Amino acid sequence: MTLAAAAERIAAQFEYPRSAVQRGVHEFLREMKEGLRKSGTTLSQLPSYVTAVPDGSEKGVYMAVDLGGTNFRVCSIRLHGNGTFSLTQEKTKVPAEMMLAKTGKELFGFMADRIEAFLKTHHEAYHAAHVRRRTRGLGYSDEEMFSLGFTFSFPVEQQGINKGTLIRWTKGFDIPDVIGKDVCSLLQTEIDARYLPVRVVALVNDTVGTLLARAYTNTSKNATVLGAIFGTGTNGAYVEKLDRILKMSDASDVDRSTGDMIINTEWGSFDNPQSVLPVTSYDIQLDQNSVNPGVHMFEKRVSGLFLGEILRRALLELVKDPSAALFSDENSNQNDTHSTTNIAASSPLYEPFGLDTSLLSLVAGDDSKGLKITRQALDGDYGISAASAEDAEAVRLIAAAIGKRAARLAAVAIAAIVIHTNALRTADQVDVGVDGSLVEFYPNFEDYVREALREIAQIGESGEKRIHIGIAKDGSGVGAALCALVAEAAQRGKSSAVLDCEMLTVAEAVNDEYEESDNLFSRLIGVINDAVRLRV
């Protein structure tokens, strides 16, 4: 069998035809309804306790932290009130040993240390004033604290807007003693241990934050129905009618004035039994060697954390197949350098998760002669020297099939939520906010999504044209800030379907008005009384 034929055989295994897409939508709708009725389902349908959606007029300064996978981010966000915001941030890579820490205290202590460093760098005056007040034995009050939204991008069972227990770890994290504990409380404990002027007021999943951020920055008159992440992981959150969340019918601590609540689907675990999901031998191998076998089966076919590993396993099969001869001497005659093709013994190709998903994006966008850019990447990043044009074409063919399947699976989730919410019946245009490296950087990802949407009976060509997909920049940061604003409004008994408020937080007042003076805090009381106002 020639290399081209072998590559085509593998690529064909990743085809996801129209009929399979339709079956996927049908099953997704079934699991959505099941998840609204009861807990413990495959599609968790987790209540976020966020019942208000912004419209872009909100103002204030808030802090946000984001644990989304590979990085931890600390931000302060100024909402300008015209659908725009300014953001100051610091991003730190989460050390591999911290993802597998022995105790939760290590991880949450790491996060609190980063918050402290951020305050000292970007809000030094406020931090110094707080420390001075505490050392004088004057204590502090809630009004003198930064309100912080905590974006925690892992499955949690949320009991309130600032309380949620971890259900399970994903994205390579595995710290057993955190499971079943309130993550907001764990973070607040470490913040308090460092005497920081920060109060965790809201727990936000990154997709809930993406939805809120898109709603805030969306300049059209159409409400944002869905926020979705297609990056290291994948998930979606949407606006649901409260009376359809049957498992919350007896809940007493829910603001029901809006009639809505944002639902965190946790769609990464859609169809864990694999009744409708496509399955290849590479999917099976990946799952068996993952930290969480048998769960998050949808995510393992769609998210950036896993697509590179699927490609690596497929390529390794061709390397080991003598009849295919991928990266072998037989194909060296097409090399620009006429050198011998060689795979270094230390090549990441031989290491689990050694092939980054960014290679799929690079290959998909490579229009160079003889796929020279791809071959250079194989050499420079993966220790595969002098790969031939035929080698590169085999990589391109398989990578494209894996990426296209991921996009068509993404369309299943998007379509199901659009159908479930009756969005196409109630609005001329449907707005969907998205974030993540796949949707931003993978060429043709949205085109593949739209192709699949047109094939779905309840969407069709006319419906697909009415679905607007827009990037929600800094969703996990500004979204968490907006959720902190919602939490403050709820605490004051002020919430509505659309927030219409203007707040000057004490943090803003101190940063704008700070002077070295013993009577700083007496003046602050006046600033607070004059500046904090809420219109509903």
pLDDT, one tens digit per residue, over 84-129 is 899 999 999 999 999 999 999 999 999 999 999 999 999 887 777 7
* Residue 257 annotated in active site: no
CB 523, CB 138: distance < 8 Å: no
Q: Domain map of the chain by residue range?
A: 54-204, 278-409, 502-535
Q: Give the count of beta carbons closer than 10 Å to the beta carbon of residue 33.
A: 14
Same fold, 54-204 and 278-409: no
- Name the active-site residue from 18, 133, 168, 244: 168
Residue 274: alpha-carbon gap to chain centroid: 23
Supply angle C-alpha 19, 24, 25, rounded to 5.
Answer: 100
Give the whole-angstrom CA distance, residue 450 versus residue 107.
Answer: 40
Three-state DSSP class for 200? Answer: strand
What tens digit of pLDDT does each residue of 289-321 get?
Answer: 998 899 999 999 999 999 999 999 999 999 999
pLDDT for position 317: 96
Contact predicate 531/504, CB 8 Å: yes
Which of 94-98, 148-152, 331-335, 424-428 is least confident? 331-335
* Confidence band, pLDDT 50/70/90 cuts, at residue 219: confident
Specify the pLDDT at position 137. 62
The answer on pLDDT for 241 being more than 90 is: yes
Mean pLDDT of the chain: 87
Q: What mean pLDDT is predicted for residues 403-407?
A: 98
Contact 304, 231 (CB under 8 A): yes
Cα–Cα distance between 474 and 31 in angstroms, integer?
Answer: 30
Q: Provide the pLDDT for residue 139.
A: 58
Q: CB 535: neighbour CB atoms within 10 A?
A: 9
Of the candidates 191, 189, 184, the one whose C-alpha atom is nearest the C-alpha of residue 159 is: 184
Confidence of residue 172 (pLDDT cuts 50, 70, 90): confident
Residue 512: pLDDT above 80? Answer: no
pLDDT of res. 521: 40
* Angle ∠(405,173,283) on CA atoms, nearest 5: 30
**From the candidates 66, 206, 255, 435, which is the catalytic residue?**
206
- Cα–Cα distance for residue pair 270/208, rounded to 1 Å: 18
Q: Is the pLDDT of residue 236 over 60?
A: yes
Is the predicted pLDDT of residue 149 greater than 80, yes or no?
yes
pTM of the model: 0.82
pLDDT top residue among 346 and 256: 346
Closest CA to 233 of 307, 310, 156: 307
Asked whether the predicted pLDDT for residue 387 surpasses 50, the reply is yes
Which pair of tokens denotes residue 26?
Answer: 């049908």
CATH number of the structural domain 278-409: 3.40.367.20
66 is catalytic: no
Longest dimension (CA), the chain: 84
Buried b (16+ CB within 10 A) or exposed e, 407-420: bbbbbbbbbbbbbb
pLDDT of residue 489: 78
Give whole-number Cα distances, 77 to 50, 85, 146, 147, 481, in Å: 19, 7, 11, 11, 7
State yes or no: pLDDT of 499 exceeds 60.
Answer: no
Instruction: Give the pLDDT mean for 39-54.
Output: 90
The CATH number given to 54-204 is 3.30.420.40
Q: Which residues pair with 148 in a beta bridge?
A: 63, 200
Q: Rounded distance, CA 294 to CA 299, Å?
A: 11
What's the pLDDT at 135?
Answer: 67
Chain segment 317-346, per-residue pLDDT in tens: 999 998 898 998 654 555 555 568 889 999
> ∠ CA(209), CA(210), CA(211), 5° rounding?
90
pLDDT value at 400 more than 50: yes
Confidence tier at 69 by pLDDT (50, 70, 90)? confident
Residue 269 appears among annotated catalytic residues: no
Between 160 and 495, the higher pLDDT residue: 160
Q: Per the structure block, which two tokens stand in for 513?
A: 């008005």
Q: What is the mean pLDDT of residues 459-482?
A: 91
Among residues 76, 153, 303, 347, which one is catalytic? 153
